[in-house]
A = this chain, B = another copy of it.
Amino acid sequence: MIPTSESELTALLQKLPFWEHLTAEEASWLPGQASLNRYPAGAILHSAQLECIGLLQICTGSLRVFLLSEEGREITLYRLGPGELCVLSASCVLHSITFDVHIDAVEDCTVLQTGASALSRLMQENIHVEVFAYRLIAEHFSDVMWTMQQILFMSFDRRLASFLLEETEVSGSDRLKMTHEQIARLLGSAREVVSRMLKYFSEEGMVSLGRGTIQITDREKLKALLS
């Protein structure tokens, strides 16, 4: 735990979307239920076996939410960066959530945690907090569905990976000068789809994105998508 004054905690908690809907009593009580913590890269923050750690608010660094099979196979569902929130780490107090994810630190990070029982109390007495929690879950549901469709149907990721590999092999450079719009037109897709997939590739360390350029940073990993 990082020593933090109550006013520092309050300043961080004020960024929560439901803060303005808290009563004066709730707003003065909440900082006492929160703590700022530091996790090194690779640390496991949440799993079915660990205690439910409550609402997470990422201050620096990034986290990864993933599924783990009995055989140890991992499926990354989505990542969370600075300013993002996670409530699946409080699944013990969310009766509609009957599955458990794993959460680990991708890089060193600092995370503001609001205890699960505090979240539970707020959800029961303040409907704005309840809406917040379930709306956040719906957003992550969308992230998960996107990832699942990629995994299950494996079409566009392959097409885009093979396009990037071919184009850079032809030019003999790892750098491709092309906008997302141009790639979308060439692949018969939409710009949003291309941008989203490139963002995924970049999160997975396969490419790095610049203004109007795409740099291949891990050709082997990109090739592995085609097999």
Contacts and interface: CB of A to CB of B under 8 A. Distances in A.
A153 B66 CA distance: 13
A4 interface: no
Q: How large is the interface on A (under 10, 10 to 19, 20 to 34, 35 or more residues)?
A: 20 to 34
A138 interface: yes
Contacts of A73: 152-153
Copies of this chain: 2
Interface string A82-120: 000000000000101111000000000000000000000
A146 B75 contact: no
Interface string A130-161: 11001101111110111011011101000000
Chain A, interface SS category: helix
B131 A96 contact: no
A144 B67 CA distance: 13
B99 A138 contact: no
Contact of A142 (B97, B138, B152, B155): B97
Interface of A: 67, 69-71, 73, 75, 94, 96-99, 127-128, 130-131, 134-135, 137-142, 144-146, 148-149, 151-153, 155
